[in-house]
């Protein structure tokens, strides 16, 4: 199973930049999208159906904001919209699809970069989503938690760890949360396969950051440890340019 996760920073904008042609060539079995910034009715979903995908959407209540989607070649056994936590579901941040004994999540973690209030929401989210996933694991122990986590875990995951040490996305408390999350029984699929630096999934639009590869690795496909033996490959696709993020790929046997 080939799973791709992609923060598209507006699915309609990404489609205008050639997303459908890229998707046809990449041909994942499952595509997890974040920050779709649209309702299903605003998207030409026939594009995805033509490529053979079932599609499921969860938009934020606020227009043009947040939202997640999952596309899959095989129809899921079950799709669960939201996580039952009001403030998270209001922003359309969690969507799950079950395929046999495997559950795939598309999650858009909040950013705290706009100020203290949103940073507080982010930290609350981190605690709540960890508890939620722990509960899910009791019934669905095999999880692939894809998404834009809005956190760089280690210094290797960010182009300038010194200057960004006090910036949201690389704060000590965020990084500590991710360390604790992994210790709870998850595997960072990309770091299992790739140990070298300078691999990023997001770049600022400012200062020619992408061309200079001054980026952050904030998009992940986290696997529960019971899937570690099935991990075939994990890659990042920086050449795909439909967003300020790029897609990440995980392949399971």
Residue of 116, 148, 188, 244 marked active site = 148
Sign of CA dihedral 190, 15, 39, 64: positive
- Give pLDDT, residue 67: 98
Banded pLDDT at 100 (limits 50, 70, 90): very high
Burial of 182 (0-12, 13-18, 19+ CB in 10 A): middle
Domain residues of the chain, as ranges?
2-252
Of the candidates 44, 62, 178, the residue with the CA atom closest to the CA atom of residue 123: 178
Of the candidates 152, 148, 224, the residue with the CA atom closest to the CA atom of residue 186: 224
pTM, 2 dp: 0.98
Condensed to tens digits (0 to 9), the pLDDT of residues 136-190 reads 999 999 999 999 999 999 999 999 999 999 999 999 999 999 999 999 999 999 9
Answer yes or no: 29 catalytic: no
- Cα end-to-end distance, the chain, whole Å: 6
Do residues 137 and 143 lie in contact, with contact meaning Cβ atoms separated by under 8 Å?
yes
- Give pLDDT, residue 216: 98
Q: Give me the CATH code for the 2-252 domain, please.
A: 3.60.10.10
Structure tokens at 141: 């122990």
Distance, in Å, from the CA atom of 197 to the CA atom of 175, rounded to the nearest integer, reads 17
Condensed to tens digits (0 to 9), the pLDDT of residues 198-242 reads 999 999 999 999 999 999 999 999 999 999 999 999 999 999 999
Condensed to tens digits (0 to 9), the pLDDT of residues 55-90 reads 999 999 999 999 999 999 999 999 999 999 999 999
Element (H, E) at 16: helix 11-16
Question: What average pLDDT does this structure show over 27-46?
Answer: 98
Distance, in Å, from the CA atom of 178 to the CA atom of 171, rounded to the nearest integer, reads 11
Condensed to tens digits (0 to 9), the pLDDT of residues 106-134 reads 999 999 999 999 999 999 999 999 999 99
Distance, in Å, from the CA atom of 133 to the CA atom of 26, rounded to the nearest integer, reads 29
For residue 251, how many C-alpha atoms fall within 13 Å in the half-sphere facing its CB?
A: 10
- Give pLDDT, residue 210: 98
Alpha helix ranges (H) inside 77-219: 86-90, 116-139, 172-183, 189-193
């Amino acid at each position: 199973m080939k799973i791709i996760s992609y923060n598209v920073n507006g699915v309609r904008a990404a489609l205008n930049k050639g997303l459908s042609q890229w998707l046809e060539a990449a041909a994942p079995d499952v595509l997890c999208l974040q920050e779709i910034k649209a309702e299903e009715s605003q998207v030409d979903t026939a594009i995805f159906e033509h490529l053979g995908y079932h599609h499921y959407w969860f938009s934020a209540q606020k227009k043009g904001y947040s939202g997640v989607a999952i596309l899959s070649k095989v129809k899921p056994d079950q799709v669960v919209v939201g996580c039952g936590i009001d403030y998270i579901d209001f922003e359309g941040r969690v969507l799950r699809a079950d395929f046999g004994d495997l559950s795939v999540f598309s999650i858009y973690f909040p950013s705290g970069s706009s100020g203290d209030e949103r940073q507080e929401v982010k930290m609350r989210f981190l605690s709540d989503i960890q508890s939620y996933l722990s509960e899910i694991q009791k019934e669905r122990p095999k999880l692939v938690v894809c998404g834009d986590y809005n956190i760089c875990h280690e210094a290797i995951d960010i182009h300038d760890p010194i200057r960004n040490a006090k910036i949201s996305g690389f704060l000590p408390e965020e990084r500590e949360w991710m360390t604790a999350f992994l210790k709870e029984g998850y595997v960072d699929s990309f770091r299992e396969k790739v140990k070298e630096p300078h691999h990023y999934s997001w770049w600022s639009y400012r200062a020619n950051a992408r061309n200079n590869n001054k980026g952050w690795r904030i998009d992940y496909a986290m696997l529960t440890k019971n899937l570690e033996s099935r991990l075939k490959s994990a890659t990042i696709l920086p050449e795909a340019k439909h967003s300020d993020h790029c897609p990440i790929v995980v392949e399971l046997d």
